[in-house]
Amino acid sequence: MTERNNNILLKIRGLRIEAYADENWVEIVHGVNLTLRRGEVMGLIGESGAGKSTIGLAAMGFARDGCRISGGTVEFDGMELTTTPQSDLRILRGARIAYVAQSAAASFNPAHRIIDQHTEAPVQYRIQKRMAAQEDAMTLYEKLRLPNPKEIGFRYPHQVSGGQLQRAMTAMAMACRPDLIIFDEPTTALDVTTQIEVLAAIRDIVNEYNTAAIYITHDLAVVAQMADRIKVLLKGEEVETAATEQMLASPQKDYTKSLWAVRSFERPQKERPVNSETPVISVQNVDASYTSGAKVLDDVSFDVFAGMTVAVVGESGSGKSTTARCITGLLPPSRGQVLFRGQPLPPRYQDRSKDQLRQTQMIYQMADTALNPKVRISEIIGRPAQFYGGLKGAALKNRVDELLDLIELDPARFYNRFPPELSGGQKQRVGIARALAAEPSFIICDEVTSALDQLVAEGILKLLDRLQNEFNLAYMFITHDLATVKAIADEVVVMRNGKVVEQGAKHEMFQPPHHPYTDLLLSSVPEMDPNWLTTVLEERGVDNLGEAATASSAQQ
Amino acid sequence: MNDVFKLVLKRLGLGVLTLLVISVLIFFAVELLPGDIAQAVLGQSATPENLAALREQLGLNVPAPVRYFHWLTGAIQGDFGTSLITGDRVGSTIGPRLLNTLFLASYAAVIAVPAAILLGIFVALLRNTIFDRVANVLTLTAISSPEFFLGYILILYLAVKTGWFPAIASIGRNADFSTMLYNSFLPALTMVLVVMAHMMRMTRAAIINLLASPYIEMARLKGVPAWRVIVHHALPNAWAPIINVVALNLAYLITGVVLVEVVFVYPGVGQLLVDAVAKRDFPIVQACCLIFAATFILLNLAADVGAILTNPRLRHPK
């Protein structure tokens, strides 16, 4: 840190960006300033639609299709990017400014080997010969603690796990030793246990080569680990900028304070009913597999009682969603059974009665894709009310109005609208209303808040909590986000590789002693403390981390 | 690789099954005609004695399934029976004609496929420019005009007015390869014009479809030049739909050329088929239909295999 000189590398002044929508150019970034010194890491933080990625790309002189830089200046190392012709800008990209995208799985070309994509830029810019570039790639892979650094690059992207790909992409960005790297939410798509490895790898390599970086994220705790300074954005405008410690300790603006406050929502934990009441849903020794493949679920058992929330946590591929599919009957278990209020449910949903189907409803992660974009809200919500409740005409309309009131959307405004006209949070509310319309006693919430911004997500959690109290609903809450678990769960089930690793009441789960995996999961959740990552890494030991990476790759 | 091999075998098996079903359809479609083959051949003036004699000669007194079985076993060995009109073996009648048709089809394909894909890449690169629009309009015009009309237009300008190429594509027995190419240039060009539009537009659409992918944006942000983004990053992922359209068009080059062959008096299978239908020479009709069906099945199989081979997920399993 001390070696850093005060040379200014990137100077953005009064940046304005317009996007083309409905045959009009609409301004989405309204005059943002940004100054970045060599070797400095700047965190850009804000909700979706704040313009973080757009600004990040503009720092490369790049505007996505349908966007244009309409005003202001972007000065990179004395060169004005907004007036430079594209062909000259192209020479900067990859060589002096590199980009690390959110989803490495989607951003690596599936048709080429990882190392060939890595060496593309250095070979093209004649910085290195192909063989030398490959050697260098292997060195970088090793530095980023990828398993088998000599060999991994010769695989195709689909043969490598998500966390490894994200590190390979960071290595690729480093290929030409750029002065500046734009990290666009590089760990958002990863599990917490994988995220911590990627974060550590990125931080080390950025420090080692003294590369300046713009780190874009919506996760405050992550940015606190990575950035020297933090800039908070809201709807294309800067809210405030400060050094990381200062920003965390004493945010000035109300909006920043509200961001910081999000994680404080926590509802009181409920206890299981003492008298031996039968659980609403009881999953008993369930095994399951997809078409003759290996077992995806192995002896899964847990109970969900009325009015309580059971959070099912685990990394992707641990069998959380498959359990939900077994409960709903979409995937008949190969062994074991699911009881509803003590009565076994037929394994296939086709064999279940209308009333049994009604009792179990689902809310999905991606409200975008779970709602038919061509169907009016009234019909989306009305359809289950009609199907299960047999409502018609005025009674149906009243029921839909009632449901819209429940989810805090004004019936007069939303009754006739279509899903694409709604915001992400509103769509998720409609998804909730659709589940409620069937008057279920049990709702499966599959990562319902993970696609939403924190403030919006909190609103959804509060709504779910209120509805639970009102209708005595039982929730199975599938999530990989432990902050959400803290906020809403009564009981926690930890899953890994299709097995239940540990389960119990929430307060027990968040207190040691834990199962080692639960421990790993808990300690991997980023905290606001800027020294958190350093401390955790020291506790675990860097070698240990590397082993964890190898172990996780071996599973996959 | 083993998985790919298994997949190909499976598809091949399905192809054979399809062909079997088609052979049944073809055979019994002829059976369904009012009267029987003997009646159809002899026409209204037939006397009962003539009919009985011909039926005896053709073996029509045997039940249909048995005849189908005989016909099928013969066909598998390459023996499609004898022509009702000339009495020649069907195989020896169709053989040289089929070679001619294949020659013309390959001639057209060798020009059309690379040209269409290259043009598709160019219009994808220069999308929404005047070049893109002009190429689209021209190829669409070519595909929307009937083949015989295109053929006559070409004859008018390239044969009658300028005399550059012969209007009648006769390929004599002793003609050398270059003469054959020269003589059959006009029918080949007609077919090129007919099949180009599909392939070009599919190449363009498949590439442009991918341009919004994150890995294309990544390539741009790595400073990869625009042509390389298209050729190196988009095209390898766009092969599957392109190969399918190419296969369909190749099949069309073999089975759909009847009109072109008639216009240019080209001695191919298409013309033979037309003649055979007119003369009610059913063994030839059946054999031609079976060959056409086999062509379609084989080319589609090749397209499936091609699409599999270009998919890295299948080529390099985990």
This model of the complex carries an ipTM of 0.74
Phi, psi dihedral angles at A519 (to 5 degrees): -60, -45
For the stretch B262-281, pLDDT in tens is 888 888 888 888 888 888 78
Contact A101, B217 (CB under 8 A): yes
Of A45-54, A108-117, B203-212, which gets the smallest average pLDDT? A45-54
Structure tokens at B124: 């994808």
How far apart are the C-alpha atoms of B81 and B75, rounded to whole Å?
Answer: 8
Q: What 3 state SS string does B95-164 have? A: HHHHHHHHHHHHHHHHHHHHHHHHHHHHHHHCCCCHHHHHHHHHHHHHHHCCHHHHHHHHHHHHHHHCCC
Q: List CB contacts of A366: < 8 A, sequence separation 6 or more.
A: A451
User: What's the gap in Å between the CA of A99 and the closest CA on chain B?
Assistant: 7
For the stretch A267-278, pLDDT in tens is 777 777 766 678
For residue A491, how many C-alpha atoms fall within 13 Å in the half-sphere facing its CB?
Answer: 19
Chain A CB within 8 Å of residue B220 CB: yes
- Residue A502, classed as helix, strand or coil, is strand
Predicted local distance difference test score (pLDDT) of residue A388: 87
The answer on pLDDT for A367 being more than 50 is yes
Alpha carbon dihedral B28, B33, B38, B40, in 10-degree steps, equals: -140
Q: Pick the residue with more confidence: A47 or A178?
A: A178
- Name the band, by pLDDT with cuts 50, 70 and 90, for residue B67: confident
How far apart are the C-alpha atoms of B24 and B15, rounded to whole Å?
Answer: 14
Q: Where are the beta strands (DSSP E) in A399-509?
A: 442-446, 474-479, 491-496, 499-505
User: What's the gap in Å between the CA of A94 and the closest CA on chain B?
Assistant: 4
Q: List CB contacts of A120: < 8 A, sequence separation 6 or more.
A: B219, B222, B224
Beta pairing class for A491-496 and A499-505: antiparallel
Beta pairing class for A212-217 and A442-446: unpaired
Instruction: Give the DSSP letter string of A206-222.
Output: HHHTT-EEEEEES-HHH
User: What's the gap in Å between the CA of B214 and the closest CA on chain A?
Assistant: 5
The answer on pLDDT for A5 being more than 50 is no
User: Which residue has 């199989």 as its token pair?
Assistant: B301
Position A223, amino acid: V
The answer on pLDDT for A553 being more than 60 is no
In chain A, residues 170-229 whose CB comes closer than 8 Å to chain B: 172
For the stretch A417-453, pLDDT in tens is 888 888 888 888 899 999 999 889 999 998 888 777 7
**Cβ-defined contact of B213 to A106 (cutoff 8 Å):** yes
How far apart are the C-alpha atoms of A214 and A224, rounded to whole Å?
Answer: 13
User: Which residue has 């591929």 as its token pair?
Assistant: A317
- Spatial strand order of the sheet with A212-217 comes to A97-100, A180-184, A212-217, A41-45, A229-234, A237-243
Contact A424, A455 (CB under 8 A): no
The domain made up of A9-260 has a fold known as Rossmann fold (3.40.50)
Selection from A425, A342, A420 nearest residue A374 by Cα: A420
Residue A429, CA distances (Å) to A86, A256, A377, A378, A432 in order: 44, 25, 11, 13, 5
**Cβ-defined contact of B223 to A99 (cutoff 8 Å):** no
Chain A CB within 8 Å of residue B223 CB: yes
Contact A401, A240 (CB under 8 A): no
Chain B CB within 8 Å of residue A471 CB: no
Q: Helix B269-278 crosses helix B282-309 at what angle (to 10 degrees)? A: 140
Interface residue of B218, B228, B239, B314 to substitute, partner A, most A CBs within 10 Å? B218
- Residue A196, classed as helix, strand or coil, is helix
Of A288-297, A420-429, B207-216, which gets the smallest average pLDDT? A288-297
- Name the band, by pLDDT with cuts 50, 70 and 90, for residue A3: very low
Alpha carbon dihedral B305, B308, B309, B312, in 10-degree steps, equals: 180
What CATH number belongs to A281-527? 3.40.50.300
Percent of chain B beyond pLDDT 90?
A: 6
Predicted local distance difference test score (pLDDT) of residue B21: 92
Rg, chain B, Cα only: 24
- Specify the DSSP class assigned to residue A159: G
User: Which residue has 């919004």 as its token pair?
Assistant: B212
Contact B37, B58 (CB under 8 A): yes
Q: What 3 state SS string does A342-363 have? A: CEECCCCHHHCCHHHHHHEEEE
- Name the band, by pLDDT with cuts 50, 70 and 90, for residue A543: very low
Selection from A125, A551, A521, A505 nearest residue A314 by Cα: A521
Structure tokens at A474: 């039982």
Predicted local distance difference test score (pLDDT) of residue A262: 55
User: What's the gap in Å between the CA of B230 and the closest CA on chain A?
Assistant: 12
Chain A CB within 8 Å of residue B225 CB: yes
Of A226-235, B39-48, B120-129, B176-185, which gets the smallest average pLDDT? B39-48
Q: List CB contacts of B209: < 8 A, sequence separation 6 or more.
A: B238
**Cβ-defined contact of B221 to A94 (cutoff 8 Å):** yes
Residue of B nearest to A125 (CA): B223
User: What's the gap in Å between the CA of B240 and the closest CA on chain A?
Assistant: 12
Residue of B nearest to A109 (CA): B215
Position A44, amino acid: L
Residue A407, CA distances (Å) to A265, A402, A403, A410 in order: 19, 9, 6, 9
Structure tokens at A271: 């206890």
> Which residue intervals of chain B are DSSP H helices?
2-31, 37-42, 48-58, 64-76, 90-125, 130-144, 147-154, 177-183, 185-210, 214-221, 226-228, 235-255, 258-263, 269-278, 282-309, 312-315
Instruction: Give the DSSP letter string of B267-288.
Output: -SHHHHHHHHHHTT-HHHHHHH
Interface residue of A60, A107, A553 to substitute, partner B, most B CBs within 10 Å? A107
Mean pLDDT of B29-55: 73
**Cβ-defined contact of B237 to A101 (cutoff 8 Å):** no
The answer on pLDDT for B111 being more than 90 is yes
Phi, psi dihedral angles at A12 (to 5 degrees): -110, 130
Instruction: Give the DSSP letter string of A247-308.
Output: HHH---SHHHHHHHHGGG--PPPPPPPSS-PPPSEEEEEEEEESTT-SEEEEEEEEEE-TT-
Selection from A411, A408, A388 nearest residue A398 by Cα: A411
The answer on pLDDT for B13 being more than 70 is yes
Predicted local distance difference test score (pLDDT) of residue A476: 92
Phi, psi dihedral angles at A42 (to 5 degrees): -110, 130
Predicted local distance difference test score (pLDDT) of residue A292: 64
How far apart are the C-alpha atoms of A241 and A35, rounded to whole Å?
Answer: 11
Q: What domains are defined for chain B?
A: 2-76 (no CATH), 90-315 (1.10.3720.10)
**Cβ-defined contact of A94 to B316 (cutoff 8 Å):** no
How far apart are the C-alpha atoms of A402 and A410, rounded to whole Å?
Answer: 10
- Name the band, by pLDDT with cuts 50, 70 and 90, for residue A549: very low
* Nearest CB neighbour to B223, from listed A90, A102, A109: A90
A contacts of B215 (beta carbons < 8 Å): 106-110
**Cβ-defined contact of A90 to B213 (cutoff 8 Å):** no
Q: Pick the residue with more confidence: A358 or A190?
A: A358
* Cis? peptide before A178, omega within 30° of 0: no
A contacts of B227 (beta carbons < 8 Å): none
**Cβ-defined contact of A99 to B218 (cutoff 8 Å):** yes
User: Which residue has 């990179």 as its token pair?
Assistant: A76
Q: Max alpha carbon distance in chain B (Å)? A: 85
The answer on pLDDT for A201 being more than 80 is yes
Predicted local distance difference test score (pLDDT) of residue B172: 67
How far apart are the C-alpha atoms of B264 and A224, rounded to whole Å?
Answer: 77
CATH 3.40.50.300 in chain A: give the residue spans: 9-260, 281-527
Buried/exposed A189-216: b ≥16 CB within 10 Å, e otherwise = bbbbbbbbbbbbbbbebbeeeebbbbbb
User: What's the gap in Å between the CA of A177 and the closest CA on chain B?
Assistant: 13
Residue B240, CA distances (Å) to A141, A334, A380, B245, B316 in order: 33, 36, 36, 9, 16
Q: How many CB pairs under 8 A join A and B?
A: 75
User: What's the gap in Å between the CA of B225 and the closest CA on chain A?
Assistant: 7
- Name the band, by pLDDT with cuts 50, 70 and 90, for residue A555: very low
Q: Name the helix (H) or strand (E) containing A392.
A: none
- Name the band, by pLDDT with cuts 50, 70 and 90, for residue A548: very low
* Nearest CB neighbour to A99, from listed B221, B225, B316: B221
**Cβ-defined contact of B318 to A112 (cutoff 8 Å):** no
Predicted local distance difference test score (pLDDT) of residue A426: 87
Structure tokens at B141: 């015009």
Predicted local distance difference test score (pLDDT) of residue B35: 65
**Cβ-defined contact of B312 to A111 (cutoff 8 Å):** yes
Mean pLDDT of A76-104: 84
